[in-house]
């Protein structure tokens, strides 16, 4: 008899397999299963007014090939189908050589606003004259960052003539934050140089804060799929490729679709951000801002056909993520999740995230362009509805199965089936 597939195994069997394959060790398994996950004492150091912890499921999308490396991707998410879709797209792409992925140097941008500057033109010249001195000052405040290759790379200045409060200057700091997400590093640097900038310009410092529009820290991924590999039970590969292009075209021209297209991409990215303890709001904000950079929302991924019979998918978006700092080193499961993916740098993590986003998008467009997503989604959704209606143990699958057979999935129907049981 053939062995059970990963999705057919129990959670304990899945963990055992990941240990057997050397993806995680026993200790990590405890952190990921929740047994030795985030405890209340640690949580109490993470945020304010802690009363406990809140759990979400963690699943693994297996079989990704990214830059030639096989990677199992941990995903924390409450929505059914996301992990299954990512796994399907990972396998499909792996048959075609997998994803190539890369990320820019980890340069974050911070803003320092100077108001009531008496002579803006003189102020700009003064900052330019002291540029080196200011950069040296910033470098000296974070020797740890400097020791790992980080540090300031540039200062730029912009004069805003008209705003609701009149004119002001903004100084932009470009800081290489190495393996950190970088918000604290940037904010600390800006607060440090604010007095110096006030005395150079005669103005008053107001905002000193990181920008989440991390356009100097983009991540990219690409996949090339042979049309025939895309075939489904109902459609041949050529028509699936054409249907994916039909679906992608709507996102190119219509913001109503582009926003949803991007949400699907972020389904995968957010789940990995959560699993690795990263700030998913920061990446979300950056992604949406980047998608709207031309004044209209565009899709973060593009699909096209080459001269042969290949479908080519590409994605590019800001990826401000860290493997140190924030919650990444505090949450026990986050460390185990990074280890599972063999991530040793923020750049590698950024590339993986871009590939996962593109995989999620491929799975969504393939389903949407053919049978629709409800078929797969509703069967998983049925179990959640059954639980919400009060089903426990083996009642869950019985109620879900009956709802699927009747093609009516609702809490009322689940309650009726439950009382009949």
Q: Which two tokens stand for residue 271?
A: 């789940």
Nearer to ligand NAD, 218 or 363 (CB): 218
The C-alpha atoms of residue 136 and residue 206 are separated, in whole angstroms, by 22
Q: 198, 377, 401, 415: which one is catalytic?
A: 377
Cα–Cα separations (whole angstroms), residue 303 to 228, 247, 257: 16, 9, 15
Is residue 79 annotated as a catalytic residue, yes or no?
A: yes
Nearer to ligand NAD, 80 or 150 (CB): 150
Is residue 288 annotated as a catalytic residue, yes or no?
A: no
Count CA atoms closer than 13 A to 405's CA, side-chain side.
7
Q: How far is the CB of 43 from ligand NAD (least distance, A)?
A: 14
Place of tokens 């019979």: 309
Cα–Cα separations (whole angstroms), residue 398 to 63, 107, 378, 385, 409: 31, 52, 15, 12, 13
Nearer to ligand NAD, 292 or 327 (CB): 327
Q: How far is the CB of 189 from ligand NAD (least distance, A)?
A: 9
Give me the residues that bind ligand NAD (CB under 6 A), please. 142, 144-145, 148, 150, 177-185, 187, 210, 212, 279, 282, 322, 324-326
Q: How far is the CB of 284 from ligand NAD (least distance, A)?
A: 10
Q: How far is the CB of 153 from ligand NAD (least distance, A)?
A: 14
Nearer to ligand NAD, 142 or 316 (CB): 142
Q: How far is the CB of 320 from ligand NAD (least distance, A)?
A: 7
One DSSP character per residue, 91-111 reads HHHHTTT-BEEEE---EEEEE
Q: 28, 142, 279, 316: which one is catalytic?
A: 279
Q: Look at residues 292, 165, 311, 162 and name the one whose alpha carbon lies nearest to residue 230.
A: 311
Is residue 136 annotated as a catalytic residue, yes or no?
A: no
Q: Sign of torsion, CA 318 324 325 331?
A: positive
In the bound state, the residue with its beta carbon closest to ligand NAD is: 325
Q: How far is the CB of 405 from ligand NAD (least distance, A)?
A: 46
Contacts of 144 by beta carbon, 8 Å cutoff, 6+ apart:
none
Chain centroid to Cα 305, Å, comes to 26
Chain centroid to Cα 211, Å, comes to 17
SS3 annotation, 196-214: HHHHHHCCEEEEEEECCCC
Q: How far is the CB of 160 from ligand NAD (least distance, A)?
A: 20
Is residue 279 annotated as a catalytic residue, yes or no?
A: yes
Nearer to ligand NAD, 268 or 325 (CB): 325
- The C-alpha angle 74, 77, 81, rounded to 5 degrees, equals 90
Place of tokens 């054409």: 242
One DSSP character per residue, 100-153 reads EEEE---EEEEEEEEES-S-HHHHHHHHHHTHHHHHHHHHHH-HHHHHTT-EEE
Nearer to ligand NAD, 184 or 395 (CB): 184
Number of residues in the chain: 421
Cα–Cα separations (whole angstroms), residue 6 to 18, 33, 243, 301, 417: 10, 16, 30, 29, 30
Nearer to ligand NAD, 145 or 338 (CB): 145
- Catalytically active residues are 79, 263, 279, 377
């Amino acid at each position: 008899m053939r062995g059970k597939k990963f999705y057919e195994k129990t959670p304990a069997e899945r963990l055992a397999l990941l240990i057997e394959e050397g993806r995680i060790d026993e200790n990590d398994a405890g952190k990921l299963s929740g047994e030795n996950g985030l405890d209340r004492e640690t949580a109490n150091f993470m945020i304010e007014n802690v009363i406990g912890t809140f759990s979400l499921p963690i699943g693994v999308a297996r079989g990704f090939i990214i830059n030639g490396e096989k990677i199992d991707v941990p995903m924390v998410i409450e929505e059914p189908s996301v992990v299954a879709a990512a796994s399907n797209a990972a396998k499909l792409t792996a048959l075609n050589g997998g994803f190539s992925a890369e990320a820019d140097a980890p340069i974050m941008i911070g803003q320092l606003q100077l108001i009531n500057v008496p002579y803006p033109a003189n102020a700009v010249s003064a900052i330019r004259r002291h540029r080196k001195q200011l950069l040296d000052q910033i470098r000296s405040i974070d020797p740890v960052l400097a020791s790992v290759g980080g540090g300031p790379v540039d200062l730029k200045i912009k004069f805003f003539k008209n705003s609701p409060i009149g004119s002001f200057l903004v100084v932009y700091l470009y800081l290489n934050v190495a393996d950190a997400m970088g918000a604290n590093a940037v904010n600390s640097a800006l607060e440090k140089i604010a007095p110096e900038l006030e005395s150079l310009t005669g103005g008053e410092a107001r905002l000193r804060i990181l920008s989440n529009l991390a356009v100097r820290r983009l991540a990219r991924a690409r996949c090339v799929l042979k049309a025939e590999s895309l075939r489904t039970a109902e459609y041949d590969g050529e028509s699936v490729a054409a249907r994916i292009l039909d679906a992608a075209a709507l996102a190119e021209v219509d913001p109503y679709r582009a926003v949803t297209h991007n949400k699907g991409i972020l389904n995968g990215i957010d789940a990995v951000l959560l699993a690795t303890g990263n700030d998913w709001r920061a990446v979300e904000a950056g992604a949406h801002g980047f998608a709207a950079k031309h004044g209209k929302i565009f899709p973060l991924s593009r699909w096209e056909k080459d001269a042969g019979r290949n479908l080519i998918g590409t994605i590019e978006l800001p990826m401000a993520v860290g493997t140190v700092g924030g919650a990444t080193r505090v949450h026990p499961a986050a460390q185990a999740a990074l280890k599972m993916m063999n991530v040793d740098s923020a750049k590698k993590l950024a590339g993986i995230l871009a590939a996962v986003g593109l995989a999620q998008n491929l799975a969504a467009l393939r389903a949407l362009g053919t049978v629709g997503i409800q078929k797969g989604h509703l069967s998983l959704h049925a179990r959640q509805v059954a639980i919400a209606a009060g089903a426990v143990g083996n009642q869950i699958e019985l109620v879900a199965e009956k709802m699927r057979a009747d093609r009516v999935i609702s809490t009322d129907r689940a309650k009726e089936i439950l009382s009949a049981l």
